Homo-oligomer: A and B are copies of this chain.
């Protein structure tokens, strides 16, 4: 627990000189800088962030507000945010908004109480946190007005739709999880853009949609595009029970590239968010805003990446189902 005063006394020099030497500001002779730095590291000196924060008015800490754990991207985003923050010598304080908009604002307030310099918010489904007293970046909500960075969900939908049409499929089912989610709607929107060359596109939602699947396939659908890997897993289980094979009878895709997609058989074709890039850009924007520089582009969409695996294949001319018929 060596402090600046001890180093100063130890070397017969003033505290200001030590501070200047260590931070590189002010005017100190080169050799004095060297001697001070040496002695400081010998003593294992660690500047007190509290002292610095008090003086500078900046805590060097960002607040991260995360929704409930239904978002399976949480750990990866947090991990990469933490990495990006480390590179810039700032810390990340987490808060949990527990699925509830009220808790979300409370979480934000707790972080503000702690004096964070800025906020990273992954908002609750459908909510748009208002303007805060510190610079803020919204993560991963599609069509938000203000400073937001997000995966290009629509682009991802288009990507996977183009993949499926390139394989020759012309009768497609889109299966969404939840209509209220803006993200889900964006994904579906993108899929439709990529399906302009398709003959029929059937859009289904949720549990009910699932039940109509077998019928749709009997009517000629050869590909199912879901808006979530979890949904894709459920569809696959469902199809097996109906005696429908993936990808032989019907191609199936997910969304988000969750780890279990690799454990499925066949392994799931899906589309992945570039969480690393999202985190990097988010921190960049936020730090720029904190340093008072206005960022030119208020809205940033990070491209998604197609992950081609085994659950999609070329459209066959005669499927086993047709022979059954």
Contacts and interface: CB of A to CB of B under 8 A. Distances in A.
Contacts of A74: 74-75
Nearest to A258: B260
Contact of A263 (B61, B91, B230): B230
Interface stretch (A51-59, A123-131, A156-164): A51-59
Interface size class of A (residues with CB under 8 A): 35 or more
B96 A94 contact: no
| Copies of this chain, whole number | 2
A240 B49 CA distance: 58
Contact of A238 (B86, B91, B112, B265): B265
A-B pairs with lowest CB-CB distance, top 3:
A237-B265, A50-B53, A50-B54
A66 to B, nearest CB: 8
Interface string A42-68: 000010111101100001110010101
Nearest to A78: B94
Nearest to A59: B50
A25 interface: no
Contact of A115 (B49, B86, B260): B49
A114 B86 CA distance: 12
Interface in A250-278: 258-260, 263-265
B233 A263 contact: yes
A110 interface: yes
Given A48-B115, A69-B79, 13 more contacts: A46-B113, A50-B50, A54-B54, A69-B76, A75-B75, A75-B78, A78-B78, A79-B98, A83-B96, A91-B93, A93-B93, A233-B264, A237-B264
A104 interface: no
Contacts of A69: 75-76, 79
A98 to B, nearest CB: 7
